[in-house]
Amino acid sequence: SGALEGSNAKRGLWSSRLAFILAATGSAVGLGNIWKFPYITGENGGGAFVLMYLICIAVVGIPIMMAEVMIGRRGGRSPVSSLRLITERDGLRPVWKMMGAVGILAGFLILSFYSVIGGWAVSYVGTAASGQLTGQSADAIGAIFSGLLSDPMTLLLWHSVFMALVMVVVARGVSSGLERAVTILMPALFVLLLIVVGYAMTSGGFSRAAAFLFQPDFSKLTTSGVLVALGHAFFTLSLGMAVMMAYGSYLPKNISIAKTSITVSIIDTGVALLAGMAIFPIVFANGLEPGAGPGLIFQTLPLAFGQMPMGSLFGTLFFVLLIFAAWTSGISLLEPIVEWLEEQKGMNRTVSTIGAGLVCWALGIASILSLNLWADFAPLGFVPMLEGKTIFDLLDFFTANILLPLGGLLVAIFAGWVMSRQAVEKELALSPGAFRLWHGTLRFVTPVAVAAVFVYNLM
């Protein structure tokens, strides 16, 4: 192994730069890009929010991704062991314990609702394949979606199917077959998105959509919108819960951390922007509401598939590929928990997967009920910022906007202030100027930006 002395040679390394990029892209590209990015962009007024999100990716996301990958490779072990090995200072025990706790908690909470949304995608494979979408009006498409949300048992069924898919792969140990599938299925998803964008260009809403997405109107950007943009930079790049740290531990020493991190971030951002360009023309051409919320893609894309030639085929394929993208992300959410149970609690993989998976699955029921029976239940509604938020909304808000940025803040402090500068410099192998830019950003800009957004939102 190329990691620190004493690290476990059995772990093996990714075969190449490509293998790492595939695994990291598999984790990053998912519902965050295709489901969440368009709907939060719609809710937060478009262009100014998109710009803020891009700034957060560049100034906070990429530096932290580099830091996570660097820590992982330096330690060459699971995140908790790597952090311990790198410092070997017992005084810092609470720090890595806290990072571990943030990662485990975030994994549980995110996967619980992620799987429910993954279940929506599973359900839509059947909807598209059976031709139900063909020639439907926006109202009829909307009714199909509300029908799904109002039916807890159906939601539970598809949530269970999605959760089972994730658990099967994690129980068997994340396989290289999945990596190979990413090489084919991710580009396929990209091509299908391009097809929808192509259709959207003819729909009559394209120029309004382009203006909505890319002409910033800062009067529409609120303080909480900035928090959402920051949180989404973490969520979409799978940062703040040590996923990239775990993957980085397999990266061979001779590969550039900066180049690979930037590549993954560009692919992830590209998919999100493409999803936006596929969805908003349909929104405007059909007089739909950009701020419709979490159902946005399920009320727009089916409309496009119902109108375009070979729409049932494209629609079916699209939702299958969306499930695949969500699946690879779901695996990366469950994997750290299972690894932690194995390593720290000495449980075997099958037992830890079943245990952790069942807890996530059960937690998911609260999100399912938030869509119907508990739709008016806002447990923390007395907090002005959380007014009207269901359990599902709260889980999404708390993980993406609080927990992941907090985890990222710890990573930035750890890599920027705690680790020895020489060790970090050697691991990254950047030119002196590029290193200073990264190090300075991580030490000052990133923590200040995260802290400032937090403080502003509390006031």
| Cβ distance to ligand PHE smaller for residue 312 or 329 | 329
Among 38-46, 62-70, 233-241, 379-387, the segment contacting ligand PHE (CB under 6 A): 233-241
Among 148-156, 173-181, 237-245, 296-304, the segment contacting ligand PHE (CB under 6 A): 237-245
Using CB under 5 A as the binding rule, whether residue 269 contacts Na ion is answered as: no
- Tell which one of 22, 28, 52, 356 touches ligand PHE (CB under 6 A): 28
Listed in sequence order, the DSSP H helices in 175-239 are: 176-201, 206-214, 223-236
Is residue 133 within 8 Å of 302, Cβ to Cβ?
yes
- Tell which one of 108, 235, 250, 324 touches ligand PHE (CB under 6 A): 235
User: Which of 153, 310, 329, 309 is closest to 235 using CA atoms?
Assistant: 329
- Tell which one of 30, 42, 294, 405 touches ligand PHE (CB under 6 A): 30
Kindly report the CA angle at 150 between 146 and 156, in degrees rounded to 5?
115
- Tell which one of 1, 7, 25, 27 touches ligand PHE (CB under 6 A): 27
- Give the SS3 label for residue 322: helix
Place of tokens 């900035």: 226
Q: How far apart are CA 96 and CA 105, in angstroms?
A: 14
Tokens of 314: 């494209």
Using CB under 6 A as the binding rule, whether residue 78 contacts ligand PHE is answered as: no
| Cβ distance to ligand PHE smaller for residue 335 or 393 | 335
Is residue 235 within 8 Å of 401, Cβ to Cβ?
no
Kindly report the CA angle at 338 between 332 and 339, in degrees rounded to 5?
90
Helix, strand, coil share of the chain (percent; to 5): 80, 0, 20
Using CB under 6 A as the binding rule, whether residue 31 contacts ligand PHE is answered as: yes
- Residue 87 touches which member of Na ion, ligand PHE, none, C-beta under 5-8 Å by kind: none
- Tell which one of 14, 27, 32, 337 touches Na ion (CB under 5 A): 32
Map residues 94-113 to x or -, x wherever contact with ligand PHE holds by CB under 6 A: ----------------x---
Please report, as ranges, the residues that interact with Na ion according to CB under 5 A.
28, 32-33, 236, 268
Please report, as ranges, the residues that interact with ligand PHE according to CB under 6 A.
27-28, 30-33, 110, 235-236, 238, 241, 243, 329, 332-333
